[in-house]
Amino acid sequence: MIFVLAPCAAALAAICSISPGWIMFMVLLLQFNDVFGYVFGKLFGKRHVFKQISPNKTLEGYLGSLLAVTAGTVLLYTLVPVLQGYPLTRCVPLAAYMFVFGNGGDLLFSVIKRGLHTKDFSGLLPGHGGVLDRFDSLLFTSPLLYLILQQW
């Protein structure tokens, strides 16, 4: 587990040294992704995807969360000063990458849990699947964000 957590912690520290605003942007976008994916999936979900890995995920949930992440990026662009130093035409694709990597992290941890025959990594956060389950998307996304910021 240290091999998973160490790169994330290092990336988070490095991002924070660039600007804490980027951490806020990433965390809020990943929350938009999770919450709106759940809501859209529950309200409109008909087509289940990745049934063997995460049977409750739906195409409609993913599309709803992508819409929310895109709209959230535009909203946060007006609220988070560090973002305004970059064109919106860069921030929206960045958010799309974060959407892909965040969901990829979620799916990867679902595969790991299936292999371990467990539903949640811990019982510390009832209803949320445990601490690691709340941060699976962050674990994947933070190194990506750091690498992209280094190129900007």
Q: Which residues contact 124 (CB under 8 A, 6 or more apart)?
A: 130, 131
Report the mean per-residue pLDDT for the chain. Answer: 89
Q: Which class for 127: exposed (0-12), middle (13-18), buried (19 or more C-beta within 10 A)?
A: exposed
Closest CA to 76 of 130, 145, 21: 21
Q: How confident is the model at residue 120 (pLDDT cuts 50, 70, 90)?
A: low
Residue 144: both structure tokens together: 């990506």
In the predicted model, what is the mean pLDDT of residues 70-90? Answer: 95
Note the pLDDT of residue 79. Answer: 94
Q: Are 65 and 44 in contact (CB under 8 A)?
A: no
How do residues 4-60 score in pLDDT, each as one tens digit?
778 888 999 999 999 999 999 999 999 999 999 999 999 999 999 999 888 899 999
Q: Is the pLDDT of residue 131 over 70?
A: no
Closest CA to 26 of 36, 16, 37: 16
Q: How confident is the model at residue 132 (pLDDT cuts 50, 70, 90)?
A: low
Q: Which residues contact 150 (CB under 8 A, 6 or more apart)?
A: none
- Please tell me whether the overall predicted TM-score, pTM, comes out greater than 0.75 for this model: yes
In the chain, where the domains are located = 2-151
Note the pLDDT of residue 11. Answer: 96
In the predicted model, what is the mean pLDDT of residues 117-128? Answer: 59
Note the pLDDT of residue 47. Answer: 97
